[in-house]
Amino acid sequence: MQQEENIKKRDSEEQMRKEQGEKEREKWKRKIKEAENDKETQDEIKQQQREWEEDKKQQMREREEEERERKEKHEKPLRGNKKNWRPRERKLKPREMKKNR
């Protein structure tokens, strides 16, 4: 139950980040369009936009790395248990006991 809530929360956060990113991109486009008569200002705005895009990519890589580490931390105990896991010895039925003699 808690895992489902965490997944929904992460999905919701990701959706909000995407929407915010789209709003920011639209803002950059408007700024560039507003400065269409001033090539120098347009170039400065485009440079700022590239820097913003790089920052967003870096943040995304960091989030992905944190998510990967979180998953590994969660899965590590599970994998550890599998190493030591052995099938239970089953009890022999009376017929099988006779065959083994």
Q: According to the model, what pLDDT value does residue 73 have?
A: 82
The amino acid at 78? L
Concatenate the DSSP letters of all residues of the chain into one string: -HHHHHHHHHHHHHHHHHHHHHHHHHHHHHHHHHTTT-HHHHHHHHHHHHHHHHHHHHHHHHHHHHHHHHHHHHHHHHHHHHHH--PPPPPPPHHHHHHH-
Phi first, then psi, for residue 67 (nearest 5°) are: -65, -40
Give CA–CA dist 4/78, Å, rounded: 19
Provide the pLDDT for residue 98.
63
> Quick one: pLDDT at residue 52?
92
The pLDDT value recorded for residue 96 is 67
Q: What is the pTM of this model?
A: 0.57
Q: Chunked in runs of 10, what are the mean pLDDT values of the chain (101 residues)? A: 83 91 90 85 91 93 90 72 63 67 58
What is the pLDDT, as a whole number, of residue 29?
87
